[in-house]
Amino acid sequence: MIWTILLLFNGILFFYFMSNRTRSKREPPLDKGVIPWLGHALDFGKDAAKFLTRMKLKHGDIFTVRVAGRYVTVLLDPHSYDSVLQDTTSLDFTRYAQVLMDRIFNLRLPNHKPDSEKAIMKRHFHGESLSCLNHNMQNHLQTLLMFETTATQNQTDWKHDGLFGFCYSLLFRAGYLTLFGGEQNNNCTDAAKVYKEYQKFDSLLIKMARTTLKSGEKQTAGSVKQRLWELLAQAGQRENSSLWLHSYRQHLEQEGADEETQRKAMLLQLWATQGNVGPAAFWLLAFLLTHPEAMRAVRKEFNSITLSGTTTLDPQKHTPVFNSALEETLRLTAAPFITREVLQNKTLHMADGQEYDLRRGDRVCLFPFISPQMDPEIHHKPELFKYDRFLNADGTAKEDFFKSGRRLKYYTMPWGAGTNACVGKPFAVQSIRQFVFLVLSHLNIELSDSEAQVPAVDASRYGFGMVQPIKELPIRYKLRERSNLQ
Ligand code: HEM
């Protein structure tokens, strides 16, 4: 009894202390919100982009907000981002990542060594190994696309679909076959089953991360994860899994992870490798289909680098127009939070000479979506899709962007930056390039309603990588009689 009372008393004291925090002179502006403990959690969760834009207008480029008992310092000046990204002593990437791993994947790795895992991934997603992965991915994409367009109906009939489901499903299944292996006959049942379950998992992912699942949803999430763990049980052990997954699984074994933990880690890797590529390809095709000038420019470029007599993209050839269209797409739709935990009190030096103290135990969050990506001072009319925004007049890649009269190091940041930047970027870019090339060269594809617009974003997903559309974009497609890009 006495222990219960003591614990309760401690809890109340802690709660009081947390709620009563005041700003010291050297700290960023503090905005606790009106609801005790919860602070701004509801607004933050509903639409982080809108909420943080409002806070930026109120407080400027740096401020601290209370979100469900935690204090988060948000930094929105891209000139100052390096003071966070370069500091791996006082600021830590892994702790918050581990919190999410536990919440979303029920995963606690014994002897977790993020650096070794990253080294394994770097080895397999660069150089010669990357060429091999790209080659396999290309083959799977081609097989699946052909099967999709020819299996169920007459080749000359239009097939109706939603563009998001079309892109996500094809890229997910091809990526799964390339990295995780599984049955590789024409209809690839394994990959389709995993995709079906993964969709359910993905629809609950944000609520899992925020621990806001309702009780019915908790049950669904539990059983979907269980099914995915079972479906992934053999990944990294079967012969046709990628060398990367074999090495990763071996590494887990050496670190003492039991069979169940290994399966959970497979789901984590499935999400890390497949969760963003499909949505990115969707947005790119959606913009191309709604911007004829951009579509013509990308087709023209692809045409000029197709290996003669084939419908194969020459992997060595540069595609600055495509790259710019992709960069522009990601500028508008990649919205990750870059979050670090403050391990020890630290002074943050802003580019304008200001200094702010950060408290141990708080979190620091960059949200490059607001700045640089949607910052009107950096990108003229940032809400518009301009496929050539990242091209110079001479057709080379444009890298000169300015804010406050100074050239920016970070003018768009879809892949993160610094030591924890995306390891899979070259694989992701090549997968999307191959996919768009295949779709444009093999299919007649058009919007079902020629007046349709790119759908709005599901605002609750801001902060979790690629955003997703609030609704489908209906399309129709059929195989071209002769594959070409005209
Ligand atoms: C369009 C597709 C993708 C986007 C937009 C994307 C974006 C990102 C971002 C923003 C981060 C940094 C997170 C942070 O600093 O907090 C990241 C990290 C990472 N990404 Fe990607 N990613 C994509 C595809 C991929 C793919 C295909 C792979 C693997 C094949 C991959 C593997 C990783 C890994 C392993 C990390 C963690 C790096 C570390 O621990 O330091 N990503 N990604």
Q: How far is the CA of 216 from the centre of ligand 1 (A)?
A: 31
**Helix %, strand %, coil % for the chain, to 5?**
50, 15, 35
The pLDDT of residue 346 is above 80: yes
Cβ of 334 closer than 6 Å to ligand 1, yes or no, is yes
- Please tell me the distance from the alpha carbon of residue 411 to that of residue 409, in angstroms, as a whole number: 6
Q: How far is the CA of 455 from the centre of ligand 1 (A)?
A: 25
The beta-carbon contacts of 269-275 under 8 Å, at least 24 apart in sequence, are 269/179, 269/245, 270/176, 270/180, 270/194, 270/198, 270/228, 270/232, 270/235, 271/104, 271/105, 271/205, 272/424, 273/175, 273/179, 273/424, 274/171, 274/172, 274/175, 274/176, 274/198, 275/202, 275/465, 275/466
Question: pLDDT tens, 55-74?
Answer: 999 999 999 999 999 999 99
Q: How far is the CA of 424 from the centre of ligand 1 (A)?
A: 6
Question: pLDDT tens, 230-243?
Answer: 999 999 898 999 99
User: Per-residue pLDDT averaged across 94-115, rounded?
Assistant: 93
Give the pLDDT of residue 15.
52
Give the pLDDT of residue 189.
77
**Domains of the chain, residue spans:** 2-106+338-366, 114-334+414-479
Question: pLDDT tens, 459-477?
Answer: 999 999 999 999 999 999 9
Percent of the chain residues past pLDDT 70, beyond the cut:
94
Which residue is closest in CA terms to ligand 1's atom 38? 420
Q: What is the pTM of this model?
A: 0.94
What strands, in cross-sheet order, belong to the sheet with 363-366? 30-31, 62-67, 70-75, 363-366, 338-342, 91-92
The pLDDT of residue 370 is above 60: yes
Q: What CATH fold (topology level) applies to the domain 114-334+414-479?
A: Cytochrome p450 (1.10.630)
Before 372, cis peptide (omega within 30)?
yes
Which residue is closest in CA terms to ligand 1's atom 30? 424
Q: Measured over all CA atoms, what is the biggest interatomic distance in the chain, rounded to whole angstroms?
A: 83
